Each structure stands twice: as C-alpha cells, then as structure tokens.
Amino acid sequence: MPIAALAIGAGVGTAVFTGNAGAETTDVVRTGAAEDGYSSSSRPTYNFGASDTLVAGRQGGDTMVTYLKFKVTDPGTGVKVKGAQVTLNRESRTFPASISLSKVADTAWTEKGLTGKNKPKVGSVVTTVKPKSGATSVTFDVSSVVKGAGTYTFAVTSTVANSPARFRSAEATAGQPTLALTVLRPTTTKPTTPATTAPATPTSPATPTSPTSPTSPATPTSPATEPTGTPPGDCTVDAKLVPSCGVLWGAAAGGFSDVPRDEALKTFERKTGRTSTVYHTYHKGDELFPTKSEIAMTNDPANPRVLMLNWKVAYGTKWANVAAGDQDARIDRLSNYLKTNYTKKFFMVLHHEPENDVNPTAGSGMTAKDYAAMFRHTALRMRANGVDNAVFVVAYMNYEKWNNSTWWGDLYPGDDVVDWVGVDTYNNAQPGGFHYGDFNYMMNRTTDKAKFPGWYTWATTNHPSKPIMVAEWGVYDSSPTVVGKNKADVYATVLPQLAMMPQIKGMVYFETAKDQNGHDIRMDDTPEALAGFQKIAADPRFTVKI
C-alpha cells in the first residue's frame, strides 16, 4: 500500500513539539512510495503501474528503468533531517553486480501514465551499490538529496547485461519501497496520567487530560478494584453486530509478512489465549472476497469469528470516479459474489485511513468530499443489489495534522450509510518519544483542543448513536534498545481506561513484526509485553457471542 507521507505505526504522522529545545532524540521515520513503476525500451507503450514488481536493468535488447516518487511532509517544528535512505526489497532472482540510483527532475509523472515513450529523463547518479547476488534488499544513501519536506523522484538502473534487478513495488503485499529519514527531534514533554473519573454520560464523555505524564503511562488499578467485563455467556450482538454488553475482540495478524493470514491469526490466538472474534483482512479493486480460507475461519464451531473486510474499491482509479458510477460493474460483481457465497453478517470497511490519500485540490477526484461520495455510492449500491449482511465502517487515522485540517470533517459519509465509526491508532512505548502515552492518549490525543478535541471526544460528541470500532490499534517501542517493560506499561492502562470509554464496542489489534516504518507491533516481542497483553485478552468483557 503506497504511503504518501511520513508515517507512524500503520498511519501517518508529523509532530508539533514543545519542551526543552536544547534536548534532542533520534528517530527513524519511514514513508512508502507515493508512485512507482518502470519503463521498457522494447515495450515503449506498455504501462506497468499496477504491477507488484519493479524491474531495473538489461535483458537482451530491452532496457528497463524503475522510477520512484516519495512525498515527504514537513517533519515538524524543530526537527532536523540528518540522513535519508531508499530501500528496495528483492522480488525474485538474484541482484546484478551493480545497481545505481539517480536523480529525476520531473515530479509530474504518474505510475498510471508512465511508459517507455514518456519516461522522465534520468539525471545524475546519486549513488551506486554493489550488492551480494543473494541479498534480500538493497539500500541507497540519498542524504545528499533529501533534506526535508518535498517531492523526490529517483530512477534505478543497472548496466549489467542480462541480469535485471526485480524489486517489490508499492502494490506488493509486503516489502514495498521505503524512504527512511533519520531525524533529530526536540524532546517533548511526557504524557500525564489522565483523569480516571467516568464521563457524565456515554454520549458526552469528560475530555481526558492532555497526555503530559512523567516517566510512563498511567498505572492501572490493582486487579482487586480494576473494572471487569460482564461474565461470559451474557453478551450477544444485534443486527448491526453491536454487542449488548462487553466489547468485540479481534486482530489483523501477520501484517506485512508472507505468512497466510488465517495461519497468523491462529498463532496470535494461541499466544494470547483468546479467539479473535473479529478477523480483519484487506482487499482491493477487482478482488472477490471473502476468500475460501476467510470463510473457513468463520465456520469453525469451536472458535466463532466474524469478518472485518477492508476494501479499496477505488483501486486503480479515483474516488470521484467511483461516486460517478464508473466502477459500478466492480461493485455489482462483488455484490453478486457475496450473495452467492457469503450470507453471514460481516464488517465492511471502505478504504481505511482515507486521510493519507486526500488531495484537497478542487477537481482532483480525491478530495475529502469525493471520499464521502465514494463511500455513500458504494454502500447504497451494495444495499440496492441486495447485500443486506454488510455492516459499514468508516475508519479514520487519528493523526493530528489531518484532524486539524479544514477538510477533515468532509470525510464523513453520513449516518445513514455508516453503521460504526472506526479509528486506526497507534502508540509509542518509548518514554518521552513521539506519540508516547497511555490508552487514553491513544484514543484522544490532540495538538490543539480548539481545532480538534481528541478523536474519542469528537466521535462521541458528533455521532453519539454510533458504536466505535478501534479497527486497528497497536503499540511499538522506538527505544534504541527495546525495553520489555515499556509495552507492558502501556498495555496495563488499557482495561481501566477502556472502562471510561463506553462507546467503544470493538477492538482489533494490528500485529506485525515490521510495518512500513520499521516498527515492531507484535504483542510478544518481549516476555513482559506478552504477559501484559495476555492480561488484556483474559478479561471477560471480551467474551461476546456472535
């Protein structure tokens, strides 16, 4: 999945910093390619923008050039970019003995329009590397070019005869191209323990305090007094999969890896000690789903599960085109497949984290209003086609810069087509690090309450009738040396603070050993982390019958 801006966790983030300007911390922030593709001299009219493979080098009389475009947003006030590296992962075969990366002045090219006839001119060589033939990846130092915010385009070439390099593209399921920035950040004030009193009413909760805590997230109450869930067997779901009590528990396991998702989920369940009632998977374009393996996971009588299926219906086109009906054949095809192959209730997330793909320019086809129109059109057409088992979820990013933007409010498609309001949100367990905090901070962080009060507060204030789905959540530790206690401390805040947020009706953990930013979001990267996570999973409030 292309990530077009600086990313934190599975979302994207740029910080506004306060505190001691004299103190700095080092961090590595990665962004994926906004556009990528390759040209072929022997196939000058071909476009390879949708391919999951990039090729660079010579084969017979064919010369192929890989093009990469990265969009780097402002890394934040006082942040210094100290270095930058582009990494490409090998797709197949061995690497040639020499690969070069060059500047490209033209930034207007697009992966959907790139061909051998119109390919941009390759500029001066930035660096040449000589990888081992069996290496799994190759890294180019672009520190001399990437100094801060901007759009950067590069060409990858090789003059070695009959030994082209093959890389994984942004369309691959794992190992996409990345641009890693090494940055120095001013040390921030550390998050505080939030208020522990419950909101006056479920629809208008007390605004939790801004995270400014001393050395670690809030310490949970003792097991004797900690709020616990309803005893097993008492909670069921209604027609919209909203639990009568308790909270749905789920996971998207094995992200950014080659492990089959059903296998990864079963491993996750075995380690955590609880069935993931919600099984989250991802699809795009013309893919038909749920797949046979996904359906099989819902037919396990000993471990009942409900699917959460993310679909990027506009893959290969624009939101405005979907809203205009250009992809109705795609929508109808999936609708017919669902009616024939899957009649159980399931969650349908339409293009999660849309903020990252918004182009606010009028007429771009990718404005926030275009997203809302795409969502509405897709949901209404599926319903008109007789798909009555889809429960529609809109899933935001919880990234402060987007939340503060003037267009963010335009993303919401409307209460009539949204069944659940969802959010993808991640925390850093490194004390004092960027996005460090407890569970309350994860759900309600803000840089300016006057612009945006915090995501949970916004959701419960503006959509009090809608259940909240934490569609992706996770914790990583950016410490130079990972400390097992750090994640455990964050996990320890989840249960007591979840009790203060009664509108949350579902929580789905995103588990991966390495996301687009290099963050380890596994719940078991240390024994202390696993023990802390197992305490969350064991809570009876997550025992809900479906």
The dihedrals phi and psi of 120, each to the nearest 5 degrees, come to: -65, 155
53-59 vs 165-168, strand pairing mode: antiparallel
- The residue type at 178: T
The residue assigned the tokens 């930034």 is 107
The dihedrals phi and psi of 99, each to the nearest 5 degrees, come to: -135, 135
* Catalytic member of 35, 355, 472, 511: 472
DSSP state of 93: S
Is position 263 annotated as part of the catalytic site?
A: no
Is position 353 annotated as part of the catalytic site?
A: yes
* Catalytic member of 353, 355, 400, 511: 353
Torsion of CA 520, 442, 504, 386, to 10 degrees: -60
Q: Are 32 and 8 in contact (CB under 8 A)?
A: no
What is the widest separation between alpha-carbon atoms in the chain? Answer: 74
- The residue type at 342: Y
- CA dist 441 and 312 (Å) reads 29
Radius of gyration of the chain (CA): 23
End-to-end CA distance of the chain: 31
Handedness of CA 374, 377, 378, 379 (dihedral sign): positive
Beta-bridge partner residues of 181: 29, 84
Residues 6+ apart with CB under 8 A from 456: 205, 208, 443, 444, 468, 501, 503, 504
b/e per residue, 36-73, with b = 16+ CB within 10 A? bbbbbeeeeeebbbebeebbbbbeeeebbbbbbbbbbb
Q: Is 206 exposed, middle or buried (0-12, 13-18, 19+ CB in 10 A)?
A: middle
**Closest by alpha carbon to 208, among 194, 224, 188?**
194
The dihedrals phi and psi of 323, each to the nearest 5 degrees, come to: -60, -30
Q: Are 288 and 334 in contact (CB under 8 A)?
A: yes
Active site residues: 353, 472
